[in-house]
Amino acid sequence: MGGKYMENRFELAIGIVKEAGNFLRKSFGSGEISSETAYDVKLKQDVESESIIINGIEKSFSEDGYISEEKGEKKGSSGYVWIIDPLDGTVNYFRGIPHCSVSIACIGKEDSFGMVYDFFRDEIFTAQKGKGAFLNGKSISVSKTEEMKDAVISFGLMKGKEEIKDGISLLSEVASNVKKIRMMGSAALDICYVASGRTDIFFEIGLNVWDIGAGKIILEEAGGVYKEYLKDRKSFFLASNGLIKMEWVW
């Protein structure tokens, strides 16, 4: 199934991603910790945003499955699976840094879509399989940068001593060979920035499916390249414009 079935889900997602984003924007500055680890924090706002999204999905498409950062996985019977990150950039949000997003993807047997909503800038990145990528309804594409020396790259450090160590090691290999490096704190937005040509490359180690589910679709529809590979039992994620040679990674 595809066509109107996925289109109906896409229209629903536009509404609920904005509803969740509006809630988070209004709650900004009042983050309440629900759990905390050495390298991360979870807020009650994560859970409440997730509830807005899942309740919206289940009200209209109760037989769909989902994978969500906070609530985990629900097996569905419809053939559609939603991938949800209710607040990407939680530490930014908690510390008052206005760079965060809500990320939703839906995967069917034939079709898929992804959307990432930057609720502070009111920017919504969207893509449907085979239909291109868009920012607030306007077509976007990756940059034309071809040389590493001209590249602006972003990277992230996931939670864990080994991931941090490997990330810094990889970064040190490229730091002197690129134009600029940025570390912004929202993987979903980092991928969308590559998709829209704002940056040229993004990499991180140890990302989860909800971190990349929507961004990957947007990136590929914008002409970019997604790669994930295993090294020493760790998962390396790379988003690029597809033009810059990436031998330094492999």
Domains, the chain, ranges and CATH? 4-140 (3.30.540.10), 148-240 (3.40.190.80)
Output the CA–CA distances (angstroms, integers) from residue 27 to 47, 66, 169, in the order listed.
Answer: 13, 25, 37
Predicted confidence at residue 117, as pLDDT, reads 98
pLDDT band at 235 (very low <50, low <70, confident <90, very high): confident
168: pLDDT strictly greater than 60: yes
Radius of gyration of the chain (CA): 17
39: pLDDT strictly greater than 60: no
> How far, in Å, CA of 183 to CA of 201, rounded?
12
Q: What is the mean pLDDT of residues 228-232?
A: 76
Give bridge partners of residue 165 from the DSSP assignment. Answer: none
> How far, in Å, CA of 233 to CA of 166, rounded?
12
Give bridge partners of residue 225 from the DSSP assignment. Answer: 240
SS (H, E, C) 153-166: EEECCCCCHHHHHH
pLDDT band at 159 (very low <50, low <70, confident <90, very high): low
Beta strands in 14-163 (DSSP E): 33-36, 41-43, 65-68, 72-74, 81-88, 101-107, 112-118, 123-128, 133-135, 138-140, 152-155
Selected residue with higher pLDDT from 239 and 169: 239
Least confident of 1-10, 71-80, 81-90, 220-229: 1-10
213: pLDDT strictly greater than 70: yes
Predicted confidence at residue 36, as pLDDT, reads 64
Predicted confidence at residue 71, as pLDDT, reads 86
pLDDT band at 157 (very low <50, low <70, confident <90, very high): confident
Predicted confidence at residue 65, as pLDDT, reads 97
| Contact yes or no for 43/33 (Cβ under 8 A) | yes
Q: What is the mean pLDDT of residues 64-87?
A: 94
Question: pTM for the whole thing?
Answer: 0.92
Q: What is the mean pLDDT of residues 218-239?
A: 87
Least confident of 39-53, 64-78, 125-139, 143-157: 39-53
Q: What is the mean pLDDT of residues 200-214?
A: 92
Q: In percent, how much of the chain has pLDDT > 70? A: 92
